[in-house]
Structure 1
Amino acid sequence: MKTILNKPVLVLQLQKQLNDIKDLCGEYDLGNHQIINFIAEKVLIIFQNTDQTKSLLNQLKLTPVLMFCSSELYDPKSLTNFIGLLKLGRQPEKGWSYLAKLDNSSLTKVSQNNWWQNKKVIIDSDGVPFTRSKIIKSFADDISLNLNTSGWKLKDADRNKLTINPIPETVRQIAFELLESFKNIDLNKESKLHLKV
């Protein structure tokens, strides 16, 4: 038998997921990089629809809410790899690496479907595109992404060449966009789900 949750319960669930993501991001930023899978799991609960379950956004009829997007535009003529959500930064103890932008000055609004399913945020060394959905699903389910990073070599603090993995920082930036998108939204008012009494 299918259980149908009422609007206040669903709103509380969504608020809890968003608060958990915020707390987990704080831990990640302090250096606990092991919890990135938990961030991905929470994002998946909010967005993922399957044959058996509907996402929290879908259940609350919040799919018209626009999402903040920080991805650069992909230029198909470019010969370099594309990592649209990250910036290149140098850290004294680590050397060069890709980092989440965590900056809301370049955010633009896009539809949820475009943000989640369509917008390419990584194109690997083989030219294979990756969306937020593909990245989050694989990370949350602990499935290895077949991401060819052979062209992504940076120098560490000792000037040794390293191949970098942009996925954890990409998940962190996706979480940032999500939190910014819902930061000033009144979920009760914005939800098109009618309150059943």
Structure 2
Amino acid sequence: MKAILNKPELVLQFQKTLTEIEELCTVYDLGDETVVQLIAEKIILIFHNTDQAKSLLNQLKLTHVLMYCSAETYNSKSPINFIGLLKLEHRPGTGWVYVARLDGASLLKVSQENWWQNKKVIVDSDGVSFTRAKIIKSIADSGPINFNTSGWKLKNGTDNKSIINPAPEAVRQIAFEMLQSLKNVDFDKESKLYYKS
């Protein structure tokens, strides 16, 4: 039987999880892409509800807290792939890559439901759309996502094709938005969970 945590214990677990995500992001930023799945697994603890377990936000009754969103708005009439969380950048030696914006200036507040479940942040070559929840759950459960990346094949100078995978940087940008959204929240005061000491 799973132990039920009281409010102070939940707050402590929430803060610990956020700290772990920050540390994993630092490792990722230093070049270790293998931590992407771990970042996704930690984000799942904060946001994802199942029949067996409620998210930390849900347990602490913090679902009213607004989230910062940096994603561009998807235009369904656009004939090209949509990668709303990232920017395309050319780097000497590696060529074209997708990179997380990590820019606090372009953040707009939205509801958690819109941020997590509703807003399309990637639409692949087949028109399959991905929300933050779909990206994070897919990576947390099974590792890399299989996008149809036919539109993301680029030729280099010798006509070799390379596929640019937006998933790792998308996870990094999602973590950035989440950390920015929650960093100044006093979980104990903001929580609507009643606690009798």
* Class of the TM-score when normalised by the shorter of the 2 chains: over 0.9
1:96 corresponds in structure 2 to 96
Gaps of at least 5 residues in structure 1 are none
Residue 149 of structure 1, CA deviation: 0.6
Deviates more, 1:156-165 or 1:114-123: 156-165
> In the alignment, what sits opposite 2:128?
128
In the alignment, the residues of structure 1 paired with residue 123 and residue 93 of structure 2 have an alpha-carbon distance, to the nearest angstrom, of 28
- Partners of 2:122 and 2:129 within 8 A in 1: yes
AA partner of residue 51 (structure 1): D
Using the TM superposition, give the Cα deviation of residue 157 of structure 1 relative to its aligned residue in structure 2, in angstroms.
8.0
Structure 1 residues 158-167 or 78-87, which shifts more? 158-167
Structure 1 partner of 2:29? 29
Question: Relative to 1, partners in 2 of residues 1:144 and 1:92: Cα closer, same or farther, differing over 3 Å?
Answer: closer
Determine if contact 2:145/2:167 at 8 Å carries over to the other structure. no
Matched with 2:150 is 150
Deviation per residue, 1:128-147 (Å, 9 max, x gap) = 10011111011011155341
* Alpha-carbon spacing, 1:30–1:2, altered in 2? closer, same or farther (3 Å): closer
TM-score by length of 1: 0.95
Tell me if the contact between 1:95 and 1:157 (Cα under 8 Å) persists in the aligned partners: no
Change (3 A) 1:172 1:189: same
User: Structure 1 CA distance, aligned partners of 2:90 and 2:157?
Assistant: 9
Q: Relative to 1, partners in 2 of residues 1:100 and 1:159: Cα closer, same or farther, differing over 3 Å?
A: farther
1:53 maps to 53
CA spacing shift, 1:32–1:145, aligned 2, 3 Å:
closer
> In structure 2, how many angstroms separate the alpha carbons of the residues matched to 1:165 and 1:35?
15
Residues 27-65 of structure 1 show CA distances to partners (whole Å, capped at 9, x for unaligned) of 000001111100000000101100011000000000000
Percent of aligned positions with the same letter in both sequences?
Answer: 65
Give RMSD over aligned pairs.
1.5
Is the CA contact 2:121–2:131 (under 8 Å) kept in the aligned structure 1? Answer: yes
Between the aligned partners of 2:5 and 2:76, the Cα distance in structure 1 is 45
Distance in 1 (CA, whole Å) between partners of 2:73 and 2:12 is: 35
TM-score, structure 2 length as denominator? 0.95
Residue 75 of structure 1 corresponds to 75
Q: Distance in 2 between matches of 1:127 and 1:15?
A: 37
Deviates more, 1:71-80 or 1:151-160: 151-160
1:150 deviates by 0.7
Amino acid at match of 2:166: P
How many equivalent pairs are there?
A: 197
Deviations 1:64-115 (A, max 9, x none): 0000000000011111100000001111121111100000111101100111
Alpha-carbon distance in structure 2 between the residues aligned to 1:155 and 1:41: 34
